[in-house]
Amino acid sequence: MPEILRKYTPVTAERLKNPEDGDWLMYRRTFDGWGYSPLGEITPANVSRLQPVWSFASGQTEGHEAPPVVNNGVMFVATPGNQLLALEARTGKVLWRYKRPFPEDMTPLHPTSRGVGLYGDKVYFAAAEAVLVAIDAKTGKEVWASKVDDYKKGYYMSLAPLVIDGKVLLGASGGELGVRGFLAAFDAETGKELWKTYTVPAPGEPGSETWPAGSDHHKRGGGSIWITGTYDPETNLTFWGTGNGGPWFGDQRPGDNLFTSSVVAFNASTGQIKGHFQYHPNDS
């Protein structure tokens, strides 16, 4: 095992809340989603003089959308095609490669990945076929895999999981394929599902009055979550954006159609919806 992996530092809840300046431990680096590095070596005065040190070809030609996630010099890069790479950040050397085959009966609509989550000595990867995978950060070996939902219903995943106090949170894409959006949490150690909250309410639930009465909106109403959310440790609220409603055309589902096209606040421990702001009622 390479020395850099033998010295791999486990990612703790405290490190996620207060990451070291040189690390990038989650999708947007910090829970508030700021997305900027505090390092000061690169400045407006010297940026034009930067030169490439190394480059790497992932072997995938589809659109790459994942920011590298870095812990103590180990860079984790998720690519299209259900692939995850661990590289030595200083040299570009491949430390390990994990690749998960697609099911034979699945044709991914958008087979990209937007990154990974880190916690302890594991890397959490949302596989396209709606499976959450935990991978050993030192070896690249799969530790466990948990089904998040059924890809045969139209669900697929492309987002980076968000880890909050030992829980791995993520949603799924598929609003354009007739699915019902949700946010789910899994135990980071075991992969057990802890809770799942749908973003389109069932009849009688709060928000259901914003959908046509007697419809089956709660089965196929969209509102999918396909971009990683943020988290406020002080309130224990996690905020996630939802996609448009389904079917595509709003005139087929009169009403505001909560909680689609919104930012939704969830209790991170229970998944209970605590608030929302809808940007575009009856979005098409």
Q: Which of 110-114, 120-124, 153-157, 277-281 has the lowest mean pLDDT?
A: 110-114
Q: Which amino acid is at 75?
A: M
Q: 242 versus 110: which is more confidently predicted?
A: 242
DSSP state of 121: T
Q: Is residue 52 part of a domain?
A: no
Q: Which domain holds residue 86?
A: 3-44+63-278
What is the total residue count of the chain? 284
The residues pairing with 263 across neighbouring beta strands, listed in sequence order, are 241, 277
| Residue 78 backbone dihedrals phi, psi, to 5 degrees | -90, 140
Q: Is residue 51 part of a domain?
A: no
CB proximity list for 192: less than 8 A, separation 6 or greater: 146, 186
| pLDDT tens readout for residues 137-181 | 999 999 999 999 999 999 999 999 999 999 999 999 998 889 999
CB proximity list for 122: less than 8 A, separation 6 or greater: 134, 135, 136, 137, 143, 188
CATH number for the domain spanning 194: value is: 2.140.10.10
Q: What percent of the chain has pLDDT over 90?
A: 88
Number of domains within the chain: 1
Q: Is residue 284 part of a domain?
A: no
